[in-house]
Amino acid sequence: MIDILGYPIYNGYKDELIEKIINKEKKIHVVSGNPEVLYQGLYEKELYNNFVSEESLIIPDGVGVVYSAKIKGLQVKEKIAGVEVMQDIISYCDKASKTIYLLGAKKQVVEKCKNTIEKTYKNVKVVGYRDGYFDLENCDDLIEDINKCNPHALFVAMGCPRQERFIIKYMNKLPCKIYMGVGGSFDIIAGEVKRAPKWMIKLGIEWLYRVAKEPWRIKRLGSIPKFMFKALVYKNVG
Residue 38 is part of which domain span?
2-233
pTM of the model: 0.91
In a domain, 24, yes or no: yes
Residue 214 lies in a domain: yes
151 in a domain, yes or no? yes
Handedness of CA 75, 31, 50, 55 (dihedral sign): negative
Question: What local confidence, expressed as pLDDT, does residue 235 receive?
Answer: 65
Identify the pLDDT of residue 234: 76
Distance CA 170, CA 136 (A): 10
CB atoms within 10 A of CB 96: 11
- Alpha carbons 155 and 102: distance in angstroms, whole number: 5
What pLDDT score does 221 carry? 65
Q: Confirm whether 238 is domain-assigned.
A: no
DSSP bridge pairs for 7: 4
Q: Residue 198 falls within a domain, yes or no?
A: yes
Residue 78, number of CB atoms within 10 A of its CB: 12
In a domain, 18, yes or no: yes
Q: Are 86 and 180 in contact, with CB atoms under 8 Å apart?
A: yes
d(CA 147, CA 134): 17
Q: In angstroms, rounded to a whole number, what is the distance separating the alpha carbons of residues 25 and 48?
A: 23
Query: How high is the pLDDT of residue 238?
Result: 40
Task: Answer whether 25's CB lies under 8 Å from 178's CB.
Answer: no
- Cα 169 to chain centroid distance, Å, stands at 16
Per-residue pLDDT of the chain in tens (238 residues, 90 and over written 9): 999 999 999 999 999 999 999 998 899 999 999 888 999 999 999 999 999 999 999 999 888 888 888 888 898 999 899 999 999 999 999 999 999 999 999 999 999 999 999 999 999 999 999 999 999 999 999 999 999 999 999 999 999 899 999 999 999 999 999 999 999 899 999 998 776 677 776 666 666 666 666 665 666 666 778 888 888 887 654 4
What would the 3-class secondary structure string for 106-153 be? Answer: CHHHHHHHHHHHHHHCCCCEEEEEECCCCCCCCCHHHHHHHHHHCCCE
The pLDDT assigned to 199 comes to: 73
* Domains: count for the chain: 1
| pLDDT of the residue at 51 | 96
What pLDDT shows up at residue 22? 92
Burial degree of 209 (CB within 10 A; 0-12, 13-18, 19+): middle
